[in-house]
Amino acid sequence: MATKKVLLASPRGYCAGVDRAVDVVEKALALYGAPVYVRKEIVHNKFVVEQLSAKGARFVTELDEVPTGARVVFSAHGVSPLVREEAERRGLKTVDATCPLVTKVHREALRFAKADYDIVLVGHEGHEEVEGTQGEAPDHIQVVGDPESVNQVQVRDREKVVWLSQTTLSLDETRETVERLRKRFPELSDPPSEDICFATQNRQGAVKKIAERAQVVVVVGSANSSNSVRLKEVAEVGGAQRAYRIDKASEMDAAWFDGVKTVGLTSGASVPEVLVKEVLAQLAQWGFEDVEEVETERETVTFALPLPLRKELKEAGMIKTDNRRRTNDPGHTC
């Protein structure tokens, strides 16, 4: 009888930008003491937000919930210039945990807006990252959520159109949207480098690989985590009969695995490994004890802490050296 097996995707879980953002909040708490306010969820994961809340982080939706003069961290998804201006007006002390790869997209948006391009931002309307990027040049940017919406795009000069994208989309869907855009606007310019970040691409590549062999794929990640939701979609398209997204092991139902021999398992870029371990433990109880790690890429990228925070930590003797690579260069995309 064939044994029941788990194919564990690698890479999975925390990306460099999330690792840095969570570290920023933890270091800010250690340096300044609680409470430290955080605008929006630092990363889109319930467990992480709960853990940081327990340590003294206060998550707010907007800056008007932060007392004047208090300290506030901007999340990994980035903020628009209006948010920065408001923080300054209110005398808030800010710590910016925006992922350097998101900052890179902001800079591209600014550069193309300055050159008076119409910018088509492929992304999900209402997502914090998209709001932040759009805020850099609201008069130049239109958001396109899916290939079907391309028909609604209006431009002033068909020869001055460029596309940019949210960092956590599905590669295939973005490709289709861009192809349709190019059909409408043959002179469409491309961003200097693809905006879908390396971590998103790597996790999608890995889940594709396991979906070819697994009947059921489980994705650990929160419902508001764009990259986790995309992983589930990629698994479904990639060959799995069914895919489920869960926040934690207790959300799984034993019936999902009736008659199943091979389960694929991965986690979104904002998911700590402890949650994956709990899923593995639960699957083992249901007979899936054999675990094969399927590695499609090895990630070595890390992002240094934001410079002002790093300086203060050093002055306070709380870090000697930050060994992580100084890859805050937003041009770096692996």
User: Is residue 71 within 8 Å of residue 93, measured between CB atoms?
Assistant: yes
CA neighbours closer than 13 Å in the CB half-sphere of residue 75: 25
Q: Please tell me whether residue 130 binds ligand SF4 under the rule CB under 6 A.
A: no
Residue type, 127: H
How far apart CA 270 and CA 274 sit, in angstroms, is 12
Q: What angle do CA 325, 326, 331 make, to 5 degrees?
A: 115
Q: Please tell me whether residue 141 binds ligand SF4 under the rule CB under 6 A.
A: no
Binding track, positions 72-111, relative to ligand SF4; x by CB under 6 A: ----x----------------------x-xx---------
Three-state DSSP class for residue 223: coil
Q: Which residues contact 194 (CB under 8 A, 6 or more apart)?
A: 165, 333
User: Is residue 33 within 8 Å of residue 57, measured between CB atoms?
Assistant: no
Count of helix runs (H) and strand runs (E) in the chain = 10, 12
User: Is residue 241 within 8 Å of residue 187, measured between CB atoms?
Assistant: no
From the CB of 276, what's the least distance to ligand SF4, in Å? 17
**Residues 300-319 close enough to bind ligand SF4 by CB under 6 A:** none
Q: Please tell me whether residue 17 binds ligand SF4 under the rule CB under 6 A.
A: yes
Q: Which residue is nearest to ligand SF4 (CB)?
A: 17
Which is closer to ligand SF4, CB of 222 or CB of 227?
227
From the CB of 275, what's the least distance to ligand SF4, in Å? 17
Select which of 41, 108, 129, 136 is catalytic. Answer: 129
From the CB of 167, what's the least distance to ligand SF4, in Å? 4
Three-state DSSP class for residue 10: strand
**Residues 249-288 close enough to bind ligand SF4 by CB under 6 A:** 269
Q: Please tell me whether residue 123 binds ligand SF4 under the rule CB under 6 A.
A: no
- For 162, left (φ over 0), alpha (ψ -120 to 50), or beta? beta
Query: What element of type H or E holds 121?
Result: strand 118-122
Q: Of these, 94, 167, 204, 222, which contacts ligand SF4 (CB under 6 A)?
A: 167
Residues near ligand SF4 (CB under 6 A), total = 15
Q: Of these, 45, 134, 165, 168, which contacts ligand SF4 (CB under 6 A)?
A: 168
Q: Please tell me whether residue 166 binds ligand SF4 under the rule CB under 6 A.
A: no
Which is closer to ligand SF4, CB of 18 or CB of 283?
18
How far apart CA 182 and CA 189 sit, in angstroms, is 9
Which is closer to ligand SF4, CB of 106 or CB of 140?
106
How far apart CA 260 and CA 253 sit, in angstroms, is 13
Binding track, positions 220-239, relative to ligand SF4; x by CB under 6 A: -------x------------
Is residue 129 part of the annotated active site? The answer reads: yes
Q: Of these, 7, 8, 9, 16, which contacts ligand SF4 (CB under 6 A)?
A: 16
Q: Which of 227, 109, 238, 108 is nearest to 169 (CA)?
A: 227
Using CB under 6 A as the criterion, which residues of the chain lie in contact with ligand SF4 when the complex forms? 15-18, 76, 99, 101-102, 167-168, 197, 199-200, 227, 269
Catalytic residues: 129
